[in-house]
């Protein structure tokens, strides 16, 4: 990490909860929803996406989008 970079207590708690979700929730949709809800509690967002980058083709592939009340894989 960059020298002098610190997380607030709220940010560290969120980071810890998100990492725990990665390790404890086996269903991808459930895990993404849990992560989305945790992030939403800190920042005002209505949706999120996960994208994979293919540097060789200079493209992004959106593998999942989570919106309030909906999931799309």
Q: What local confidence, expressed as pLDDT, does residue 70 receive?
A: 55
71 or 60, greater pLDDT? 60
- The pLDDT value given to residue 68: 66
Which tens digits make up the pLDDT trace of 2-60?
567 777 888 888 888 888 888 888 887 788 778 777 777 777 777 777 788 899 999 99
Structural tokens at position 17: 């909860």
Contact 21, 34 (CB under 8 A): yes
pTM for the predicted model, two decimal places: 0.54
Do residues 33 and 66 make contact, with C-beta atoms less than 8 angstroms apart?
Answer: yes
The total of other beta-carbon atoms located within 10 Å of residue 32's CB is: 20
3-state secondary structure of 35: helix
């Amino acid at each position: 990490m960059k020298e002098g970079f610190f997380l607030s207590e709220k940010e560290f708690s969120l980071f810890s909860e998100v990492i725990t979700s990665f390790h404890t929730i086996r269903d991808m949709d459930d895990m993404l929803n849990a992560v989305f809800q945790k992030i939403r509690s800190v920042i005002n967002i209505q949706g999120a996406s996960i994208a994979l980058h293919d540097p060789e083709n200079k493209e992004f592939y959106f593998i999942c989008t989570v919106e309030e009340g909906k999931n799309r894989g």
